[in-house]
């Protein structure tokens, strides 16, 4: 589900021309962590990704912060492979740096229920907005009847059908 949701978010950003800043940590040692399909959807974002050398909190990487600042945006939509690591620390640091941060919880996860719950509480306590893929896409679409809204509805429908299929609930 997380992979499908990340793909939906990247597609939505592409439709609306929202800049994407991607980062990975110890990518050469963790090749299996990178989600297939993202490179094909947004090749420029993939090519420009910040390859961290092991820094856990992306905000501690000056190259990542510079890339975020270069977008000129003060509202960030974030996801990460893990909620309790990749997303948590960067979301908290961005929030402390004055950004409005939306943490997309169903576009990642944690290996343990307790660490997932603790990460969510910490982010909420510090003002990070906890959200989900369908909520973000709906908010960004504004109006399903517009051409961009129609594309967003299609992206959301694809993700929904795939995610329902994972639970044996597809049409």
The count of other CB atoms within 10 Å of the CB of residue 131 is 18
Alpha-carbon distance 36 to 72, whole Å? Answer: 28
- pLDDT at position 28 over 80: no
Homologous superfamily in CATH for domain 2-166: Isochorismatase-like (3.40.50.850)
What are the sequence ranges of the domains in the chain? 2-166
Look over the chain and give the mean of its residue pLDDT values, rounded to a whole number.
87
C-beta separation of 57 from 89 below 8 A: yes
Q: Which helix (H) or strand (E) holds 76?
A: strand 75-78
> Which DSSP string corresponds to 67-105?
HHHHTT-SEEEE--SBIIIIIHHHHHHHHHTT-EEEEEG
For residues 7 and 37, the answer to whether their CB atoms sit within 8 Å is yes
Q: What pLDDT, in 10s, does the model give residues 32-59?
A: 555 667 778 887 888 888 887 878 899 9
Q: Write out pLDDT tens, residues 88-132.
A: 999 999 999 999 999 999 988 888 999 999 999 999 999 999 999
């Amino acid at each position: 589900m997380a992979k499908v949701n990340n793909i939906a978010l990247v597609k939505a950003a592409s439709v609306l021309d929202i800049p994407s800043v991607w980062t990975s940590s110890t990518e050469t040692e963790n090749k299996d962590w990178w989600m297939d399909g993202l490179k094909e959807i947004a090749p420029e974002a993939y090519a420009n990704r910040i390859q961290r050398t092991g820094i856990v909190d992306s905000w501690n990487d000056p190259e990542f912060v510079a890339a975020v600042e270069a977008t000129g945006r003060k509202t960030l939509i974030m996801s990460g492979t893990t909620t309790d690591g990749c997303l948590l620390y960067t979301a908290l640091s961005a929030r402390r740096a004055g950004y409005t941060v939306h943490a997309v919880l169903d576009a990642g996860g944690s290996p343990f229920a307790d660490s997932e719950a603790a990460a969510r509480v910490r982010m909420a306590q510090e003002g990070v907005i906890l959200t989900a893929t369908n909520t973000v896409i709906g908010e960004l679409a504004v109006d399903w009847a517009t051409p961009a809204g129609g594309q967003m509805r299609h992206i959301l429908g694809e993700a929904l059908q795939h995610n329902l299929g994972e639970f044996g609930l597809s049409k």
